[in-house]
Amino acid sequence: MKQIQNVKNYLTEAGIKPSYQRIKIFEYLIENMNHPTVDMIYKDLVPYIPTLSKTTVYNTLKFFVDKGITQIINIEDNETRYDADTSTHGHFKCIKCGNIYDFSFDNKNLNIKQIENFEIKQIHLYIKGICENCKNKK
């Protein structure tokens, strides 16, 4: 993903008023590229921001998504994760450790059948399996 030098400017350019909580939440997303859930972000940030609530985290992320600076990952039906990298890339979830890994793919050569003449706006590619670390652990 592209480098973000100044979160405050980045939010402002996206049309978001850069409040302290919004800056902290966005910084968390770009520093922890682990595709966190609302609960993970809340748990990690509340020691530093005692006034934070889960609703605020949820609403802030929803706002980021609406403004196009965050994407939602729904690799599991019962779990929504967030990613500040909005470029087209796929997600691999390890069924053993639960980690989600980014991977890139060539979206020009996807060899898609049946919908060749459709206009594609978004691609979500989810793969599940066992990551290299877990595969090598005996």
Binding site for Zn ion (CB under 5 A): 83, 85, 94, 96-97, 102, 131, 134
Nearer Cβ to Zn ion, position 29 or 131? 131
CB of 25 to Zn ion, least distance (A): 17
CB of 99 to Zn ion, least distance (A): 5
Nearer Cβ to Zn ion, position 17 or 121? 121
CB of 18 to Zn ion, least distance (A): 23
Residue with tokens 């450790």: 97
For residues 2 and 137, give the distance between their C-alpha atoms in angstroms, rounded to a whole number: 33
Is the Cα dihedral 11, 16, 22, 28 positive or negative?
negative
| DSSP track, 32-58 | --S---HHHHHHHHTTT-TT--HHHHH
Nearer Cβ to Zn ion, position 63 or 92? 92
